[in-house]
Chain A
Amino acid sequence: MSSRTQEELSVAELVHYGPLSQARALVTANLDRRVSHVELVGELDQVRRCRPYTAIVLHHAAAHGVWAVESALRLAWERGASCVVAPEDVGVPRSTVQLAERLRVALFAVPADPARHALDLAGAIASPSAARAMLTARCAELFGERTSARGIVGVVNAEVPGVSAALVAADGHVLAGQSAAAAAPGLRVPVPGPDGRPWAELVARLSTDSPGWVEVVRTILHLARAPLAAAVARGRLSLADRVAEDRLILTALLRDEPSPDAERAAADAGWRTAGNHVAVALRAEGVSIVDATPGLVARWRETFADRPLVPTADGWVTWWTGDEATAATVARVVEKGLTRLAAPVALTAGVGRPGRDLPGLRRSLTEAGLAAAGRDEGARVRCFADLGARVVLACLPVGEIAAASAVALRELVESPEGPTLVATIAAVLDCGGSTSQAAARLGVHRNTVLGRVDRLRAKGIDIDSADRRLALHIACYALLNAWPTPEP
Chain B
Amino acid sequence: MREISAADLPALMTGSRLLSASTGFIVDACLDWVAELVDRHGPVPLVGVADLPPESPCAAIAMVGSVTALAELPPTGEEPELAVRALEARLGHPLRAVMPLAAATVNALFPIAAAAVSGLPLVDCDGMGRVLPLIQQSTYALAGLPLTPLAAVGAAGDVVVVDAAATRADPLLRAAVTTAGGWMLCAMNPTTAGHLRNAAIPGAVSRLIDVGRVLRTAADHTALLDDLTRVLGAKLLGSGRVVELSHDTRPTGPGLPANPTSVAVVEYTGAGRLIRLEAQNEFLLATVDGAVAAAVPDLLCLLDRRERRVVDPESVVVGDHVDVLVIPAAPVWHTPEGLRLAGPRAFGFPVGHPREGISP
Contacts and interface: CB of A to CB of B under 8 A. Distances in A.
Contact of B290 (A45, A62, A74, A91): A74
Nearest to A45: B350
A71 to B, nearest CB: 5
Contact of B350 (A44, A74, A96): A44
Nearest to B248: A65
B274 A99 contact: yes
Given A66-B249, A71-B290, A95 B351 contact: no
A83 interface: no
B198 to A, nearest CB: 34
A72 B290 CA distance: 7
B285 interface: yes
Nearest to A73: B290
B246 A70 contact: no
A176 interface: no
A75 B350 CA distance: 14
B251 A64 contact: yes
A70 B251 contact: no
Nearest to A74: B290
Contact of A102 (B243, B260, B289): B289
Given A72-B290, A74-B291, A99-B290, A64 B276 contact: no
Interface string A24-44: 000000000000000000011
Given A71-B290, A93-B246, A102-B271, A65 B278 contact: yes
A96 B264 CA distance: 9
**Which of A65, A95, A98, A103 gathers most chain B CB within 10 Å?**
A65
A94 interface: yes
Contacts of A77: 290
A67 B272 CA distance: 17
B120 interface: no
A65 B260 contact: yes
Interface string A74-88: 110100000000000
Nearest to B290: A74
Contacts of A71: 287, 290-292, 351
Nearest to B288: A74
Nearest to A76: B290
A68 interface: yes
Contacts of B251: 64-65
Give the bracket for the number of chain A residues in contact with chain B.
20 to 34
A79 to B, nearest CB: 12
B244 A93 contact: yes
Contacts of A67: 249-250, 262, 276, 278, 285, 287, 349
B210 to A, nearest CB: 33
Given A65-B260, A93-B244, A93-B246, A70 B349 contact: no
Contacts of B291: 71, 74
A75 B291 CA distance: 8
Given A67-B262, A67-B278, A95-B274, A44 B289 contact: no
B290 A95 contact: no
A197 B10 CA distance: 94
B250 A65 contact: yes
Contact of A103 (B287, B289, B348, B351): B289
A103 B273 CA distance: 11
Given A71-B287, A74-B291, A95-B243, A66 B274 contact: no
A93 B246 CA distance: 9
A44 B249 contact: no
Interface string B66-98: 000000000000000000000000000000000
Contacts of A68: 250
A427 B244 CA distance: 90
Contact of A99 (B260, B289, B292): B289
B266 interface: yes
Contacts, number: 72
Interface in B240-260: 243-244, 246, 249-251, 260
B260 A44 contact: no
B249 A94 contact: no
A85 to B, nearest CB: 16
**Which of A62, A66, A96 gathers most chain B CB within 10 Å?**
A66
Given A64-B250, A66-B262, A102-B271, A95 B349 contact: no
Contacts of B272: 102
B274 A43 contact: no
Given A65-B250, A65-B260, A99-B290, A70 B274 contact: yes
A300 B125 CA distance: 91
Contacts of B246: 66, 91, 93
B163 to A, nearest CB: 37
A95 B260 contact: no
Interface string B270-288: 0110101010000001010
Nearest to B250: A65
A99 B264 CA distance: 11
A62 B351 CA distance: 11
Contact of B289 (A72, A74, A91, A93): A74
A65 B292 CA distance: 14
Given A43-B350, A70-B276, A95-B274, A65 B289 contact: no
Contacts of A44: 350-351
Contacts of A91: 246, 249
Nearest to A75: B290
Contacts of A98: 266, 274
A359 B307 CA distance: 82
A95 B287 contact: no
A71 B290 CA distance: 4
Contacts of B250: 64-68
Nearest to A72: B290
Interface in A190-232: none
A66 B289 contact: no
A96 B290 CA distance: 9
Contacts of B278: 65, 67
A335 B289 CA distance: 59
A106 B348 CA distance: 27
A116 B272 CA distance: 36
Contacts of B243: 94-95
Nearest to B260: A65
A99 B349 CA distance: 20
A92 to B, nearest CB: 11
A66 B290 CA distance: 10
A70 B244 contact: no
B303 to A, nearest CB: 21
Contacts of A43: 350
Contacts of B260: 65
B244 A95 contact: yes
Contacts of B348: 64
Nearest to B277: A67
A72 B246 CA distance: 19
B292 to A, nearest CB: 7
Contacts of A64: 250-251, 348-350
Interface of B: 243-244, 246, 249-251, 260, 262, 264, 266, 271-272, 274, 276, 278, 285, 287, 289-292, 348-351
List the 5 shortest-distance A-B pairs measured between CB atoms, nearest first: A74-B290, A65-B250, A70-B290, A95-B264, A65-B249
Given A66-B249, A75-B290, 14 more contacts: A45-B350, A62-B350, A66-B276, A67-B285, A67-B349, A70-B276, A71-B351, A91-B249, A93-B246, A93-B264, A95-B243, A99-B289, A102-B272, A103-B289
9 contacts: A62-B350, A64-B350, A66-B250, A67-B262, A70-B290, A71-B291, A74-B289, A74-B290, A103-B289
Interface of A: 43-45, 62, 64-68, 70-75, 77, 91, 93-96, 98-99, 102-103
